[in-house]
Structure 1
């Protein structure tokens, strides 16, 4: 499901918990997945909340 979402999304809003370092680290992994799957990732809005 995540691969399909990454492949077809026009923007990303990534949310993590401020009291959970593991959720923040997961955001980093997701951003790396976006970079791997989308050659135009620099043009895609990514917001981290």
Structure 2
């Protein structure tokens, strides 16, 4: 592999491919913001070619 890939990177790639905003946050119980994808995740653009 040219670069290490993490699980959050893979989830970010799926969200990007589906047209979802990877920076969106949802409100969890207790009114806490919860990100859709880990903030350090980077989509694997090589997969989307």
TM-score of the aligned structures, taking structure 1 as reference length? 0.32
Give the number of the structure with larger relative contact order, counting CA–CA contacts within 8 Å between residues 6 or more apart: 1
Greater helix fraction, Structure 1 or Structure 2: 1
Which protein is bigger by CA-based radius of gyration? Answer: 2
Which is richer in strand?
Answer: 2
TM-score (norm 2): 0.32
